[in-house]
Chains A and B, each alone.
Chain A
Amino acid sequence: MYQYTEFDKQFVRARAAQHRDQLERWQAGQLTDDEFKPLRLQNGWYVQRYAPMLRVAVPYGEISAPQLQVLARIAREFDTPDPALLAQAQATQNKIVGLAPALTTNYGHFTTRQNVQYNWIPLSKSAQVMDLLATVSMHGIQTSGNCIRNTTTDELAGVAVDEVVDPRPYAELIRQWSTLHPEFAFLPRKFKIAITGASEDRAAIGWHDVGLQMVKNSDGEVGFKVLVGGGMGRTPVIGSQIRAFLPWNQIMNYLEAVVRVYNRWGRRDNLYKARIKILVKAEGQRYFDEVETEYQEILSQDGGLHTISQAEFDRINACFVTPALDLPSMTDEWLAKAEADISIEAAKNSAFARWMVQNVVLHKNPALRAVKLSFKRMGQAPGDATADQLDAAAALVSQFSAGEARVTHTQNLLLPWVRLDALHALWQEAKALGLAQPNIGLLTDMIACPGGDYCALANARSLPLAAAITERYQDLDELNDLGHIDFHISGCINSCGHHHSGHIGILGVDKDGKEWYQITLGGSDGKVLSGAAVPGKVVGPSFSSFEVPDVIEAILNTYKELRLPVPGRHEYFIQTLRRVGQEPFKSAANSARHPTQAQLA
């Protein structure tokens, strides 16, 4: 992991002190609500439906065991509302038609942008929390607001077998460049960058304002393919290629050009048309040309001072070495024995065998594996982790993964440095903690935003639907038979639950003050199994919350009827859908609608 220098640490502490100063001036009436809002947002503090929400930055998803411990402490000691507030919130929730899990407290929530959120910390305690985060070099810098957000990357960065270039040092350089950039603190709208260095895109780069794919040219030089103008929200757009090859050391100069031209020309008259995707769509080549001119002027007239020197790259890159793992001198015999031992355990225990297949990923180093802890289970919302679970996860990370984990964009935790001969022990411990569901990539490994239970923007709740589907599909044989399905739920068009990129996507909409849900089919985040990034298509008019589980079941039954066998398995859901088209799924969904009367009950 990147090791914070004294400069970095001091910077984070200064930022916490700045927040305290701003909070106190707001409390003293020297800052109005409207003046304070953009300031607190740029430290991750929202005010949500019932209470504030804090979004803690996890730069490119990399997190250490001590950081997880501090997140646990914050969940335990601070994520607690006043009892009267909680009672009032629950009473309000109870008035919404339909069954729903009770509101919970004292937990962290892993987000699709590899960050961690809390839902109940009183704003009056925010300065204390920021100071506590700063003790482990954590913060909420630019996790919200109309600025450059946390850069995300491949959860397998640095360990993936298909990696061309390790993207982490570049992600760190972009973190530094974008942090408190004085010119870009008040852009027309939020700005998200994702970067991958593997041949498979596991970072959904096409869906970002800027998507970076690391490549090597014919001379073996490292650079970036640059996409611009992707995004979800009301108008889903896949990014366009603006540059086929940008030399690696020019990334800051180039991003400066991309963002400066956007700052100048991006629309500020309409919130829904302010993202860079709208500008790129409207201006096309003209935007590209302006960026190119600006980039050339940054080099020729400003001196290109953000050209990254080899010395600086080397300093940062040195932080991303393989951790000391105390591996036996790698012999073929050791490897063969470790693999044989796993086979023996897998033969004895089918649950372990399933977990090996579903949750364990190959590693650059054949003596290691990357392991996904599943935070998708009955009784807890997708991506939620209680204080105790965060502490337990920290202990697993220390013991089994050299003290390092990754928050994945599918709202789980990944342990990137697990020894082959430790997998069985890890599985046993993870299982005891309820974090070994072998459902990674399956229907119940769904993405869901916090939705209307917590979020002030949501039109409808996400979590009751997530719970209903999780409950209905508990049978592991059935889940495995359904195979890989990206199931994504967003409570509103802001698309935090990435419904556009789901093979099956659900979008909460508000009609006559009631909760309704649009269903989309055939979206892709850009990974190999899903095909090129593309938004899903809507299946007819929206469905009531009561209908959705039945509609999902009807869609899945249709898949089971229509799928063809391929060697060793069946077609995946997305393959059948692409082959036969949307029509049979659409008519199955529509025939699962309830009679009108049942909906009124």
Chain B
Amino acid sequence: MQTSPDIASRLAPTSHKKTMKIITAPEHQVAESPAVLAVTNDIDPRTLDLKGVTRIDLAFPKFTDGRAYSQAFLLRRRLGFKGELRATGDVLIDQLVQMQRTGFDVAVLREGLDASAAQRQFDRFAGFYQGSAIDTQPQFSKSVSKNQ
């Protein structure tokens, strides 16, 4: 179970801003470019050819269907995808934080929603227990090293 050096660099703790780029539905262009993939939530991201891909749109057909969180996590953390991960579909304010934590960086807010309540959701929690796709160290690794 050796961790290869390139993986190690990918897993190094990253400083990150606690926010996402939020765009409106009209701003979201369903691009017809080979550099942009639109992936349904039953696809295993490990089967995708990511060569030359700069953006992947993942889908939430209903906000209560959480499969795209796992897809995002695998793309970001397991597969090291560096491009844009865009949340589409039934994207609401109260799921933005978990989207960001699983690796999404852009969210297309469902039409008709007021984005003004969004940023304070990112500011609310000082930290979380688990490591995530963007902040890979779990809280316990941080607190123990701090205590030592």
- Residues of A at under 8 Å CB distance from B? 5, 7, 10-11, 14, 17-18, 21-22, 25, 30-31, 35, 38-39, 146, 176-177, 179-187, 252, 260, 263-264, 268, 296-297, 299-306, 308-309, 311-312, 315
Known: A264-B67, A305-B138. A180 touches B128 (CB 8 A): yes
B137 within 8 A of A: yes
Indicate if the CB atoms of A301 and B78 lie closer than 8 Å: yes
**Cross-interface CB contact of A22 among B1, B77, B94, B143, cutoff 8 Å:** B94
- List the interface of chain B (C-beta within 8 A of A): 1-3, 7-8, 11, 44, 63-67, 69-70, 73, 77-78, 92-95, 97-99, 101-102, 114, 117, 120-121, 124-132, 136-141, 143-144, 147-148
CA distance A287 to B148 in the complex (A): 41
Taking the nearest CB of chain B, how far is it from the CB of A340, in angstroms? 48
In Å, the complex CA distance between A480 and B20 comes to 64
Contact B130 A306 (CB under 8 A): yes
**A-B pairs with the 4 shortest C-beta distances?**
A186-B66, A182-B101, A182-B98, A312-B140
A7 touches B137 (CB 8 A): no
Q: Are A183 and B69 in contact (CB under 8 A)?
A: yes
CB distance from A271 to the nearest CB of B (A): 12
Whether A35 pairs with B67 at a CB distance below 8 angstroms is: no
Inter-chain contact B69/A186, CB cutoff 8 Å: yes
Q: What are 16 A-B residue pairs whose CB atoms fall within 8 Å in the complex?
A: A18-B124, A177-B138, A179-B129, A182-B69, A182-B128, A186-B65, A260-B73, A268-B65, A296-B1, A297-B78, A302-B77, A304-B1, A305-B11, A305-B137, A315-B140, A315-B144
Partner of A176, one of B97, B102, B129, B141: B129
A179→B94 CA distance, assembly (Å): 16
CA–CA, A35 to B117, complex, Å? 15
Assuming the contacts A306-B131, A306-B138, asked whether A301 and B67 have C-beta atoms less than 8 A apart, the reply is: no
Taking a contact as CB atoms under 8 Å apart, the answer to whether A309 and B3 are in contact is no
- Identify the closest chain A residue to B127 (Cβ): A7
Among the listed A185, A305, A308, A312, which residue makes an inter-chain contact with B66, where contact means beta carbons less than 8 Å apart?
A185
Q: Let me know if B64 and A312 touch, CB within 8 A.
A: no
Q: Is the CB of A301 within 8 A of B143?
A: no
Given contacts A176-B139, A306-B130, A312-B141, 13 further A-B contacts (CB under 8 A): A7-B143, A11-B125, A18-B124, A176-B140, A182-B97, A182-B128, A183-B98, A263-B69, A264-B44, A303-B8, A303-B136, A308-B140, A309-B141
- A308's nearest neighbour on chain B, judged by CB, is B140
| B144 with A39: CB separation less than 8 A | no
Report the bound CA distance from A593 to B93 in whole Å: 56
Contacts of A252 in B (CB 8 A): 130, 138
Most chain B C-beta atoms within 10 Å of own C-beta, residue among A5, A21, A183: A183
Query: Given A182-B102, A264-B67, A315-B144, A305 and B131 touching (CB < 8 A)?
Result: yes
Cβ of A183 and Cβ of B138 under 8 Å apart? Answer: no
Which residues of A are found within 8 Å of B137, using beta-carbon distances? 305
B7: A residues at CB distance < 8 A: 301, 303
Q: Which residue of chain B has the shortest Cβ distance to A5 in the bound complex?
A: B143
A179 to B129, CA, bound (A): 7
Residue pair A309, B144 in contact (C-beta under 8 Å): yes
When chains A and B are docked, how far (Å) is the Cα of A7 from the Cα of B142? 12
Q: Distance (Å) between the CB of B44 and the closest chain A CB? A: 8
Which residues of chain B are near A296, meaning CB under 8 Å?
1
Residues in chain B near residue A183, CB distance under 8 A: 66, 69-70, 73, 98, 102
Task: With both chains docked as a complex, state the minimum distance between the C-beta of A71 and any C-beta of chain B, in angstroms.
Answer: 25
A300–B2 touching, CB < 8 Å: yes
Q: Which of A31, A39, A312 gathers the greatest number of chain B CB atoms within 10 Å?
A: A312
